[in-house]
């Protein structure tokens, strides 16, 4: 319930990209593919927060249905502020709680965009002695790539639209939506503000 006096902010009209049923079917198909090629022994899942939390949970449970039982840990990469500010460096807000040396790792992220996050985290896991790193992303935006990275498995390949829902957010909003939707271009983080106007939601920035 909305506390008295709290403005109830309406959600903007969103263009659905993938329905909850389509996502569920794709996640189960991904689990089939992964289960066929994963080592059975104590596979370590590294899920990147915040955006992958729902995808990682559904994927882990779909894998458990196939008798693949993950040991799940989390890492939170920090913002790098955008192409103009970055040499490509991605830092960590929160690190893993478990060591990865000698482990086969399944690295799970919400979306592969410029590629910097996946590249940096992959390298870090390898430097820490992971036996292998396999990458799995829900969404892949190849047109945005700035570094040469491909995911071993991607759920959906999409155009250059800003996506929310199913864990992905805009300033913390929309993560709870059971489907994936594209934000209208005028609300997306890269939308140019008209002269004298502020951006529709300044909190809405890619991680
Ligand atoms: P890259 O590949 O650029 O991706 O290092 C970094 C992170 O940016 C976020 N991102 C998005 N988040 N909708 C979102 O909610 C989007 O369309 C989007 N594109 C990039 C995401 O957290 C990704 O892991």
pLDDT tens, position by position, 50-92: 999 999 999 999 999 999 999 999 999 986 554 433 455 789 9
Kindly report the average pLDDT of the chain as a whole number. Answer: 85
Choose one of 168, 169, 176, 179 to mutate for the ligand 1 pocket test, by most ligand atoms within 8 angstroms of C-beta. Answer: 168
Model confidence at 193, pLDDT cuts 50, 70, 90, reads very low
Residue 136 · residue 63 · CB < 8 Å: no
Per the rule left: phi > 0, alpha: psi between -120 and 50, beta: everything else, 14 is beta
Helices and strands of the chain, counted as H and E runs: 3, 9
* Domain 15-158, CATH among 3.40.640.10, 3.40.50.2020, 3.30.230.10, 3.40.190.10: 3.40.50.2020
* Whole-number CA gyration radius for the chain: 18
* Ligand 1 atom index nearest CA of 110: 24
Ligand 1 contact via 165 beta carbon (within 6 Å)? no
Whether residue 204 has pLDDT greater than 90: no
**Ligand 1 centroid vs 41 CA: distance in angstroms?**
31
pTM above 0.85, yes or no: yes
Confidence of residue 143 (pLDDT cuts 50, 70, 90): very high
Spatial distance between the Cα atoms of 189 and 203, rounded to a whole number of angstroms: 9
């Amino acid at each position: 319930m909305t506390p008295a006096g709290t403005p109830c902010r309406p959600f903007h009209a969103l263009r659905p990209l993938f329905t909850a049923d389509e996502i569920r079917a794709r996640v189960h198909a991904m689990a089939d593919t992964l289960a066929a090629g994963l080592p059975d022994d104590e596979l370590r899942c590294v899920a990147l927060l915040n955006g992958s939390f729902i995808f990682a949970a559904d994927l882990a449970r779909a894998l458990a249905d196939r008798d693949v039982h993950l040991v799940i840990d989390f890492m939170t990469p920090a913002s790098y502020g955008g192409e103009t500010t970055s040499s490509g460096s991605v830092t960590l807000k929160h690190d893993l709680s478990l060591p990865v040396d000698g482990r086969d790792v399944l690295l799970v992220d919400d979306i592969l965009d410029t590629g910097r996050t996946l590249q940096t985290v992959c390298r870090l896991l390898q430097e820490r002695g992971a036996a292998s790193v396999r990458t799995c992303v829900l969404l892949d935006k190849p047109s945005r790539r700035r570094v040469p990275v491909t995911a071993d498995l991607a759920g959906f390949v999409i155009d250059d639209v800003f996506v929310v829902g199913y864990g992905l957010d805009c300033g913390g909003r929309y993560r709870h939506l059971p489907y994936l939707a594209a934000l209208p271009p005028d609300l997306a983080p890269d939308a140019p503000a008209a002269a004298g106007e502020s951006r529709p939601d300044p909190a809405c920035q890619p991680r």
